[in-house]
Amino acid sequence: MSHLILQSPVLVPDIIEKIAAIVQADGVQELGPTAVRILNADASETSTVQALCASNRIDFAFLDRIQLLRDCKILAMDMDSTLINIECIDEIADMAGRKAQVAAITEAAMRGEITDFSDSLTQRVALLEGVPASALEQVYDERLRLNPGAERLISTAKQHGLKTLLVSGGFTFFTERMKSRLGLDACHANVLEVNNGLLTGKVVGTIVDSKGKASHLQDLAKQLNATPEQIITVGDGANDLDMMALSHYSVAYRAKPVVQQQARYALNVSPLDAIINWFRLSH
């Protein structure tokens, strides 16, 4: 038997009771105003639960057991549209009036329609040629916001001894600021080339693509001797899938369909810190 966690900004008691009856639960435990734990649920009813949850804007997670958060070792996250609310490259392009062109390529890459991420990034960065480097600061100050629950998820993970890793197909200008702002342990992203205060339209060094993200996570897992059951990964686009495949707790956050299909868990309506409710914080 499994535990079933249901979370939503608005949990309707009738729906919770209906789901509890479908999974033949032993009881319902309140975890707070937006979350409940359904005890000893029959996981064979997953498809019925999924349909009910989708139509009632509820996030669900079947868990074989509720483990201690401190038994995990790594929280690895994507940045753009996962940790933060924007795709930085699209907003930089907007400063040069080229957002539509760049965003179309970004969207296709995230949906998995462009399978070569490096190629898609090279195409998009080329469209940034001549943009003042000061546009990056402007995007950071005026448009970049942390997604709801991001700060609490990271601070809680850190309190419980997890190493926090940010792996992004975006740019170091933003990941380094996230690192200092949130106290992250490690960040990996792409370096934009700047010459005379202008972007050259090129990336310096090796591009952090899907395999690059996975490789950075593998390195950290090796260092910490972390098993997949001790790794939480969060992403939204196709280039997060290799990284997510390395963890038991793979979370699709407001994700593209290809990611929803392959991740073990999804947060479509709840904030990022909803992940905390899948774990025990103390004995």
DSSP-assigned states of every residue in 181-230: HHT-SEEEEEEEEEETTEEEEEEESS---HHHHHHHHHHHHHHHT--GGG
C-alpha neighbours within 13 Å on the C-beta side of residue 82: 32
Q: Give every strand in the sheet of 59-63, ordered side by side.
A: 27-32, 35-41, 2-7, 59-63
For 150, the token pair is: 């991001």
**Cα separation, 250 vs 263, whole angstroms:** 5
Catalytic residue flag (residue 80) = yes
In the set 59, 78, 90, 273, the catalytic residue is 78
Catalytic-labelled residue, pool 80, 90, 242, 273: 80
**SS3 of residue 6 by DSSP:** strand
Say if CB 265 and CB 61 are below 8 A apart.
Answer: yes
240 is catalytic: no
The length of the chain in residues reads 283
Catalytic residues: 78, 80
